[in-house]
C-alpha cells in the first residue's frame, strides 16, 4: 500500500514572516493598513506660500492627539529657520500669528494635525473643505474652526446622523441626512467645533469670492463622482484626467445638464448662483467650485487660496489664476523630498523643501514623486482668504533634530529674528559696560 507522499516542513524566512504579520494586521486592523497617497488632510508636514495680503496672515493648528509638538519653519530661498513652535492638545488650537507675506513656509509636527491658514479684513474669509480626523476630506469625525462665516455645510455620501458639538462637548445641533443629502448649521465665527457622523460626510465652508478644490465621494481629489457648491455668482471648474462624459445634477434647483471633455481639457462655468451640485463622470476628473469677484472669466475666481489634489499626487491639471498686483506666484509646487517634475513638458529638479513658482496659465504637471500644489486666485487683491492645508500621506518629516517647542497652545507671535537681535544687542551693551574704564578713586 502506497503511503501519501509527505512534503518536508520548510520554515518561513524572516522576511516572509514580517510580510505575513503585516498582511494579517491590515486585515484584522484596517486602520493599520497603508494609507493611500491621496489621503490629503490630517498629517505631520505641510507647506504654504503666504501672498501679499491686506491683513496679517495667521496659521491655526488644531490638535488631533494630546501632547502634539509643532514647528513653523521659513524655507524661503533655501533657508530652514524655525520661526515659531509650540505644543497643542486634542481639540485645542495653536495659532502662529502675523506670518510674513511673500514667504514660503513648512509646518512640521510630531503627530498628525489639522492646519488652517488665512487672512481676513472684511468680516468674511475663504471657502474650504475640512479634513476628517481619519486623514481624508471625507469621514465621520471632524475638528474644525469656523472661518469668518457662521454657516457650515454638510453633505452625506452615506445615510448619516450628524451631531455638532462645541469646544466643551455640548451638543449644538443634530442633522439626519440621506445619501446625497445636504444640510447646514449656523455657528459662531472663529470658534472650534467637533462634528461626528454615523456615515461618511464632507464638511465645508463657503463665502463670496472664495473657491475650493472638491473631494470626491471616496475622499480622493481625482475621481468620477463629486459634491460641489457654487456660491453667490457661482463658479464651477471641471478638469478632465481622461476622456469623459460628465453629468451635472443641480440638487438645489432640480435640474441637470451634461458636458463632454477630452483628457487635458477643462470646463469653466459662472453665474450659477448658490446651489448644491453632484457631478458624475465616465472618466476621472478634478473639480473646483466657489465664486468670483471680477470680470476676467476663470482668472477672476477668488480672491482665495486652495490646494489642488492630483492623481496619486504625481499628476495634476490646473489653472494658475490671476495675480492682480503683478509679481507673486499664481501657483506653487512644493517638494517634500528630492523630486523631478515636468511642467508643460519642461523638466525641473526640486530639492527636499524646495518649490517652483508659476505665473498665470493652464498647466499639466507630472512628477516622479508626490508633490503639493497650492493655487492662488487674487482677482483684484487678497484681502480675505482661507484654506485647509493639504499634504499627501506619503510625505514624511523628521522632527528629532528640531529644538524643543517654546510655547503652549494659544497665540504665538511669529518672530523673524527680532528676539535674537534684541539678545545680541543686550550682550554687546553688557560687554561694553564691563570693559568701560573705572573713574574716581577707591
pLDDT of residue 24: 40
Q: Residue 127: inside a domain, yes or no?
A: yes
pLDDT tens, 362-382?
999 999 999 999 999 988 788
- Considering only CA atoms, which of 375, 363, 266 is closest in space to residue 323? 375
* 213 neighbors 221 (Cβ within 8 angstroms): yes
Distance, in Å, from the CA atom of 127 to the CA atom of 134, rounded to the nearest integer, reads: 21
Q: Domain count of the chain?
A: 1
Contact between 389 and 372 under an 8 Å Cβ cutoff? The reply is no
* Assigned domain for 212 exists: yes
Element (H, E) at 420: helix 418-435
Q: What do you get for the CA distance between the two ends of the chain, in Å?
A: 120
Residue 236 — φ and ψ, nearest 5°? -145, 125
16-to-20, 25, 53, 208, 276 alpha-carbon distances in Å: 6, 14, 55, 56, 50
Chain mean position to CA 104:
15
Q: What are phi and psi of 62, to 5 degrees?
A: -100, 125
Is 106 contained in some domain? yes
Q: What is the pLDDT of residue 40?
A: 75
Cα–Cα distance for residue pair 281/258, rounded to 1 Å: 9
User: Is there a contact between 362 and 330 (Cβ–Cβ < 8 Å)?
Assistant: no
Domain that holds residue 166: 41-424
Under-50 pLDDT residues of the chain:
1-10, 15-35, 418-442
Q: What is the pLDDT of residue 422?
A: 36
Q: Which of 72, 68, 64, 84 is nearest to 48 (CA)?
A: 72
Query: For strand 93-99 and strand 410-413, is the pairing parallel, antiparallel, or unpaired?
Result: parallel
Q: Is residue 229 part of a domain?
A: yes
Q: For the chain, how many residues are written?
A: 442
Q: What radius of gyration do the chain's Cα atoms show?
A: 25
Burial of 418 (0-12, 13-18, 19+ CB in 10 A): exposed
> pLDDT, tens digit, for every residue of 180-233?
999 999 999 999 999 999 999 999 999 888 999 999 999 999 999 999 999 988
| pLDDT at res. 432 | 39
Residue 297 lies in a domain: yes
Compute the distance between CA of residue 64 and CA of residue 90 in angstroms, rounded to an integer. 5
Taking a C-beta distance cutoff of 8 angstroms, is the pair 127, 210 a contact?
A: yes
Residue 439 lies in a domain: no
Would residue 331 count as lying in a domain?
yes
By the 10 Å C-beta count (0-12 exposed, 13-18 middle, 19+ buried), 318 is classed as buried
Residue 211 lies in a domain: yes
Q: How far apart are CA 87 and CA 93, in angstroms?
A: 9
pLDDT tens profile 72-122: 999 999 989 999 999 999 999 999 999 999 999 999 999 999 999 999 766
Question: Do 388 and 129 form a contact (C-beta atoms < 8 A)?
Answer: yes
Distance CA 379, CA 303 (A): 6
Task: Tell me how far apart the alpha carbons of residues 102 and 251 are, in angstroms, rounded to a whole number.
Answer: 40
**DSSP 8-class letter at 251:** T
CB 89 within 8 A of CB 111: no
Contact assessment for residue 365 and residue 312, using Cβ atoms and an 8 Å cutoff: no
Contacts (Cβ under 8 Å, ≥6 apart) of 27: none
Amino acid at each position: 500500500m502506497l503511503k501519501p507522499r509527505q512534503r518536508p516542513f520548510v520554515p518561513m524566512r524572516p522576511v516572509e514572516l514580517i510580510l505575513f504579520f503585516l498582511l494579517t494586521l491590515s486585515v484584522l486592523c484596517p486602520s493599520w493598513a497603508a494609507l493611500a497617497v491621496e489621503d490629503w488632510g490630517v498629517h505631520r508636514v505641510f507647506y504654504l506660500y503666504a501672498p501679499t495680503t491686506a491683513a496679517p496672515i495667521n496659521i491655526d493648528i488644531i490638535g488631533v492627539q494630546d501632547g502634539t509638538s509643532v514647528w513653523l519653519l521659513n524655507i524661503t530661498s533655501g533657508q530652514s529657520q524655525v520661526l515659531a513652535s509650540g505644543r497643542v492638545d486634542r481639540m485645542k488650537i495653536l495659532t502662529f500669528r502675523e506670518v510674513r507675506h511673500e514667504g514660503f513656509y513648512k509646518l512640521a509636527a510630531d503627530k498628525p494635525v489639522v492646519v488652517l491658514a488665512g487672512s481676513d479684513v472684511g468680516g468674511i474669509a475663504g471657502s474650504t473643505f475640512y479634513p476628517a480626523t481619519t486623514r481624508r476630506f471625507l469621514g465621520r469625525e471632524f475638528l474644525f474652526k469656523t472661518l469668518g462665516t457662521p454657516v457650515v455645510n454638510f453633505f452625506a455620501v452615506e445615510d448619516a446622523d450628524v451631531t455638532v458639538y462645541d469646544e466643551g462637548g455640548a451638543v449644538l445641533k443634530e442633522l439626519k441626512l440621506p445619501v446625497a443629502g445636504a444640510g447646514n448649521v449656523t455657528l459662531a465665527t472663529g470658534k472650534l467645533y467637533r462634528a461626528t457622523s454615523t456615515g461618511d460626510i464632507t464638511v465645508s465652508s463657503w463665502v463670496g469670492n472664495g473657491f475650493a478644490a472638491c473631494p470626491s465621494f471616496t475622499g480622493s481629489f481625482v475621481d468620477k463622482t463629486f459634491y460641489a457648491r457654487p456660491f453667490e455668482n457661482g463658479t464651477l471648474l471641471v478638469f478632465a484626467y481622461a476622456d469623459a462624459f460628465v453629468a451635472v445634477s443641480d440638487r438645489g434647483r432640480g435640474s441637470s445638464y451634461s458636458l463632454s471633455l477630452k483628457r487635458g481639457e477643462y470646463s469653466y462655468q459662472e453665474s450659477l448662483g448658490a446651489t448644491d451640485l453632484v457631478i458624475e463622470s465616465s472618466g476621472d476628473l478634478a473639480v473646483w467650485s466657489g465664486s468670483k469677484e471680477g470680470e476676467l472669466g476663470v482668472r477672476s475666481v477668488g480672491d482665495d487660496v486652495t490646494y489642488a489634489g492630483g492623481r496619486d499626487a504625481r499628476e495634476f491639471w490646473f489653472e494658475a489664476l490671476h495675480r492682480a498686483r503683478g509679481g507673486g506666484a499664481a501657483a506653487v509646487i512644493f517638494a517634500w523630498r528630492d523630486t523631478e517634475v515636468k511642467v508643460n513638458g519642461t523638466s525641473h529638479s526640486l530639492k527636499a523643501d524646495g518649490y517652483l513658482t508659476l505665473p498665470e496659465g493652464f498647466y499639466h504637471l507630472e512628477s516622479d514623486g508626490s508633490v503639493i500644489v497650492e493655487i492662488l486666485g487674487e482677482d483684484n487683491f487678497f484681502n480675505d482668504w482661507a484654506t485647509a492645508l493639504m499634504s499627501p500621506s506619503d510625505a514624511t518629516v523628521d522632527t528629532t533634530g528640531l529644538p524643543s517647542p517654546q510655547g503652549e497652545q494659544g497665540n504665538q507671535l511669529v518672530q523673524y529674528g527680532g528676539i535674537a537681535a534684541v539678545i545680541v544687542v543686550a550682550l554687546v551693551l553688557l560687554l561694553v559696560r564691563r570693559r568701560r574704564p573705572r573713574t574716581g578713586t577707591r
